[in-house]
């Protein structure tokens, strides 16, 4: 038989000077007794602690946690183990700790005391905080990496399309220039030569346009969006010029315009012309040949609005979603059509002006509407 060396006074000493803090709470939440260890940690004299509320030793977060989590569980299961707690020392310092709590009830089930054992746990709590932070960082990294991967995939896809464009679409006009050059050598009359030259010029123009589009795409994708240089612009002559250009190229097509442009617009006139030309060009190539293309432009309530509408077959909902993606071409595109960058570039120009392009398409008409704020500061929400 082993005789303990411990006497009653040693038990008292174990309580008072244990390597952990002891705290007994009365049912009303006030401290009944605390040991010297806890008093020492918190900077109170041992006699000062009884009578204080536990909440006076906690910061606000700890108080809320104690009320909403610890107290309910104590009442339900009689204990709550291993909870983190920040004790406030007398001079307001934070003492990170881990605690266990037990209720002591009488035979009738009435609460006598709630006892807390508190372990100082600055390092442990810091370690856990570091773990939480590390997990957060790794979660954020994962999200960032996934986004990066998505972008890379998109870029790879674009690159493939880019190569396909260079390999395919640029060959057609190039072939026609080569053919023109060959024929030029055999040309009999100056008229033949002029005709061939005009044809070659038009092919060169098409190639130049394609290269411009591809460059815009590259700038839009790789840089911070399409470049614009804005100035206060009277917009009507800009639109008139585009209409005249396309009307000359398509003398057989009707174009109806209705402009109510009273206020100048803060924009890049060349880019707006490009956007408009792309929309109008599309309407002419895809709209019903026997019906006019309708154009409207107005400056009203701080917004510049421009729409281009054509009759003819509607755009299927599925296709509508992809219209503004680069290299998107409708199912039935002919060889003379562009690269499928027109709407993409138009949308990028709209974005660079804080504006939007919306499309509505029904049996009756297909309508593209560009809206941008008149002043440079406000941005339009897609509507």
Q: How many residues line the site for another protein (CB under 8 A)? A: 30
Smallest distance, another protein to C-beta of residue 58, A: 10
**What gap in Å lies between CA 258 and CA 295, rounded to an integer?**
6
73 or 170, CB closer to another protein? 73
What is the per-residue binding string for another protein in 17-36, x denoting contact by CB under 8 A?
-----------xx-------
Cβ-based neighbour number of residue 49 at 10 Å: 21
Of the candidate residues 36, 63, 209, 320, the single one contacting another protein (CB under 8 A): 63
65 or 259, CB closer to another protein? 65
Considering only the stretches 37-45, 58-66, 280-288, 374-382, report the one whose residues sit in contact with another protein under the rule CB under 8 A: 58-66
| CB-facing half-sphere around the CA of 14: CA atoms within 13 A | 7
Of 28, 27, 24, 94, nearest to 57 by C-alpha is: 94
Smallest distance, another protein to C-beta of residue 130, A: 11
Q: Are strands 356-361 and 366-373 parallel, antiparallel or unpaired?
A: antiparallel
Question: Could you tell me the maximum CA-CA distance found in the chain, to the nearest angstrom?
Answer: 131
What is the per-residue binding string for another protein in 65-94, x denoting contact by CB under 8 A?
x-xxx-xxx-xxx-xxxxxx-x--------
Here the tokens at position 62 are: 């700890």
DSSP alpha helix (H) spans, the chain: 8-17, 36-42, 60-65, 71-77, 122-164, 171-186, 190-222, 235-249, 269-286, 317-322, 342-352
Sorted by sequence, the CB contacts under 8 Å of residue 160 that are 6+ apart come out as none
Tell me 311's DSSP state.
-
Of the candidate residues 21, 42, 57, 62, the single one contacting another protein (CB under 8 A): 62
Smallest distance, another protein to C-beta of residue 356, A: 23
Here the tokens at position 184 are: 């030029």
Q: Which of residues 122-181 bind another protein (CB under 8 A)?
A: 125, 128-129, 132
Considering only the stretches 61-69, 230-238, 269-277, 338-346, report the one whose residues sit in contact with another protein under the rule CB under 8 A: 61-69
Of 94, 84, 99, 92, nearest to 131 by C-alpha is: 84
User: What's the residue count for the chain?
Assistant: 383
102 or 250, CB closer to another protein? 102
Residue 112 is a binding residue for another protein (CB under 8 A) = no
132 or 184, CB closer to another protein? 132
Smallest distance, another protein to C-beta of residue 168, A: 44
Residues that bind another protein (CB under 8 A): 28-29, 55, 59-65, 67-69, 71-73, 75-77, 79-84, 86, 125, 128-129, 132
């Amino acid at each position: 038989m082993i005789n303990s060396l411990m006497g009653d006074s040693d038990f008292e000493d174990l309580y008072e000077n244990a390597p952990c803090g002891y705290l007994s709470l009365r049912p009303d939440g006030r401290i009944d007794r605390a040991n010297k260890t806890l008093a020492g940690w918190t900077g109170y004299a041992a006699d000062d602690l009884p009578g204080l509320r536990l909440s006076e030793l906690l910061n606000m977060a700890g108080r809320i946690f104690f009320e909403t989590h610890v107290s309910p569980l104590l009442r339900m299961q009689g204990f709550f183990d291993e909870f983190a707690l920040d004790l406030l020392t007398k001079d307001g310092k934070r003492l990170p700790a881990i605690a266990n709590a037990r209720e002591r009830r009488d035979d009738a089930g009435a609460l006598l005391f709630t006892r807390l054992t508190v372990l100082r746990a600055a390092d442990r709590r810091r370690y856990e905080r570091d773990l939480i932070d590390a997990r957060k960082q790794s979660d954020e990294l994962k999200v960032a990496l996934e986004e990066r991967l998505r972008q890379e995939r998109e870029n790879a896809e674009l690159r493939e399309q880019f190569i396909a464009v260079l390999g395919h679409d640029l060959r057609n006009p190039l072939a026609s220039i080569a053919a023109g050059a060959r024929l030029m050598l055999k040309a009999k009359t100056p008229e033949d030569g002029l005709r061939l030259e005009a044809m070659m010029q038009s092919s060169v123009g098409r190639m130049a346009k394609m290269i411009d589009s591809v460059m815009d795409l590259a700038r839009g994708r790789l840089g911070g969006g399409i470049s614009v240089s804005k100035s206060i612009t009277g917009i009507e002559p800009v639109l008139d010029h585009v209409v005249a250009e396309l009307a000359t190229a398509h003398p057989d097509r009707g174009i109806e315009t209705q402009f109510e442009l009273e206020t100048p617009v803060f924009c890049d006139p060349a880019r707006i012309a490009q956007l408009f030309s792309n929309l109008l060009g599309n309407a002419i190539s895809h709209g019903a040949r026997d019906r006019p293309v309708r154009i409207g432009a107005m400056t009203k309530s701080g917004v510049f609005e421009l729409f281009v509408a054509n009759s003819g077959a509607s755009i299927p909902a599925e296709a509508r979603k992809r219209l503004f993606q680069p290299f998107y071409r409708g199912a039935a595109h002919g060889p003379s059509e562009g690269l499928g960058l027109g709407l993409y570039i138009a949308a990028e120009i709209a974005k660079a002006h804080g504006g939007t392009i919306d499309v509505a398409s029904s049996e009756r008409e297909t309508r593209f509407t560009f809206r941008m704020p008149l002043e440079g500061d406000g941005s339009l929400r897609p509507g």
